[in-house]
């Protein structure tokens, strides 16, 4: 009897796993942010492609343009995780 293959990860699961891996490895890479790692960029690329495919599947106009934009991968990298060294100052209004 043939075994069935194990279930595949969903887009969301893959993205989450890659982002977690990026956050784990980034502290070991001097000055490289999590979103700049191979795992971080891969997570964003998968997210962008999944979004484009969903929009195309839902009948978005100009599907070829959506596909081209996703394949180019030129969107700015989105930060991963929460900011660690952020200082927020409350400004008082001048009188």
pLDDT tens sequence across 66-88 = 999 999 988 899 999 776 554 54
Whole-number pLDDT of residue 90: 56
Surface-to-core class of residue 90, CB atoms within 10 Å of its CB (0-12 exposed, 13-18 middle, 19+ buried): exposed
Taking only the tens place, the pLDDT of each residue in 7-66 is 999 999 999 999 999 999 999 999 999 999 999 999 999 999 999 999 999 999 999 999
Token digits of residue 63: 């599907």
CB 25 within 8 A of CB 41: no
Separation between Cα atoms, residue 14 and residue 21, nearest integer Å: 11
Asked whether the beta carbons of 54 and 12 are under 8 A apart, the reply is no
Q: How confident is the model at residue 94 (pLDDT cuts 50, 70, 90)?
A: low
Predicted local distance difference test score (pLDDT) of residue 81 = 79
Residue ranges of domains in the chain: 11-72
């Amino acid at each position: 009897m043939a075994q069935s293959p194990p279930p595949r990860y969903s887009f969301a699961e893959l993205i989450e796993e890659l982002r977690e891996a990026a956050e784990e490895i980034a502290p070991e890479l001097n000055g490289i942010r999590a979103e700049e790692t191979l795992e971080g960029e891969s997570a964003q690329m998968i997210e962008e492609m999944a979004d484009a495919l969903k929009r195309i599947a839902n009948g978005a106009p100009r599907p070829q343009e959506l596909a081209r934009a996703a394949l180019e991968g030129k969107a700015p990298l989105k930060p991963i995780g929460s900011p660690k060294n952020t200082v927020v100052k409350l400004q008082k209004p001048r009188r």
